[in-house]
Structure 1
Amino acid sequence: LSILVLVSCNMTTMPRFLMHINHMEVLDLSNNIIQGTIPQWIWETWNDSLRELDLSNNMFTHMQLTSYLLPYSRLDSLDLSSNRLQGQAPMPNPKQISAEPESS
């Protein structure tokens, strides 16, 4: 399993089976009513594989992170909009930010 899209399924908690998936490239759990904390295992388990993470339009209030620098080496898209998140927002690792100018 590398792509999982469970949009608008009225889920109220993070699916526990996700903890046992070792490789995930795209996870979209948007437009649900998932409450509580975004668990740390999301940031740890898929560090080398996750490209897109969409947790928008839920009811998350916090994030479990050991650092506020996102550890992902391949992450292209992170959408946490329209939640109830409090505290410091996660930032991309400065080593991963490209400073190349866009070509016109």
Structure 2
Amino acid sequence: MWFGHPDPNVDIAICPLAPLLEFVKQQHGTNLFFRAVETSMIPTEEQTRELDAIEPVTFIGYPNGVWDSKNLLPVARRGTTASPIEVDFEGSPRFLIDASVFGG
């Protein structure tokens, strides 16, 4: 159900959420917890220019398969940006964060 970005250097994927929510509800009788990122949360170009090289970041997921299986919740971590967001790092449209990040 996951669709990766066609460029292997872009670490992002999407999954149609509605079929997954319905499947879990029917098979397990539970509603999955999720939060959507609203477009109002995405910084405008002007807001991006105002960000510094050291800004707080929060990321949520299942690092190394770690999660709260009793409450069906992921774990949250924090870090900081390590390069300015508005500057393409190494000539690529990306920036660095300083945080303990693990796959999952």
Instruction: Give the TM interval when normalised to the shorter protein.
Output: under 0.3
Q: Which has the higher contact order (CA 8 A, sep 6+)?
A: 1
Please state which structure has a larger fraction of its residues in helix. 2
TM-score, normalising length from structure 1? 0.24
